[in-house]
Amino acid sequence: MNAETLTALELARFNMVEQQIRPVGVFDSNVIEALFSVQREQFVPKAYRALAFADIEIPLHLESADTRQTMLSPKLEARLTQLLLLKHDDCVLEIGTGSGYQAALLARLARSVASVEIDPRLVSFAQQNLQKAQIKNVSVETGDGYNGWGTAEYDAILVSGGVEKISNALKYQLKIGGRMVVIVGHAPSMTAFRITRTTAASFETLSLFETVVKPLTGACGSRFKF
């Protein structure tokens, strides 16, 4: 891609990938392709659209309400996506939809994404964003998914916000060989983990990197969301 021939919008997206995302170790070609194909600016509230490619968390302040939630920084969204090790036939569960952008990235890499969001205002916002982006393999539902969602098992699960502890219920919704990425702890000391279900009753846990995110919003005090 030649930066000299890009429009201002395309150049901002190119710089986001080259200056923020590749330097933190995101090199998977499918993830990079998804970052270019999903129009991040379409998922950002209008008041913050000029910051769509900035290396910051963006407030999800909607015209009708302040949800007190944010989009993660682009580089963290990309890292979490890569760490799930997605294949094209995977079925994915996301806990915490937010704007729908993370689900859109996952949908470019997997067969289907079920995303659960506790705030009905964000459910509507995400659904509208995904529809405008013509992404049809994501379903967004209203609910609190920290303690599991339905009875299906998934190839991959992403918890899109910080939690105090890893949910056993979500671990057991992984298929054997399935991966879950989750950020655990309290600011300023939080760690991203990947949990892989190796047998019906055993899991492998890998510590990935230190970071800080806002807590996952949940019905119980033991939980949080960004």
* pLDDT above 90 for 221: no
Q: Is residue 149 part of a domain?
A: yes
Range of the domain at 99: 3-211
Report d(CA 61, CA 83) in Å as an integer.
29
Rounded (10°) angle between helices 8-15 and 29-37: 150
Q: Is residue 224 part of a domain?
A: no
Task: Tell me how many domains the chain contains.
Answer: 1
Q: What is the pLDDT of residues 100-116, one digit of tens each?
A: 999 999 999 999 999 99
Q: Is residue 55 part of a domain?
A: yes
Q: Is residue 222 part of a domain?
A: no
Q: Is residue 225 part of a domain?
A: no
Q: What is the pLDDT of residues 131-146, one digit of tens each?
A: 999 999 999 999 999 9
| pTM for the model | 0.93
Q: Is residue 221 part of a domain?
A: no
Report d(CA 57, CA 49) in Å as an integer.
12
Q: Is residue 106 part of a domain?
A: yes
| Mean pLDDT of the region 9-22 | 97
Tokens standing for residue 197: 């279900």
Q: Is residue 89 part of a domain?
A: yes
CATH value at residue 27: 3.40.50.150
Angle, vertex CA 56, rays to CA 51 and CA 58, nearest 5: 60
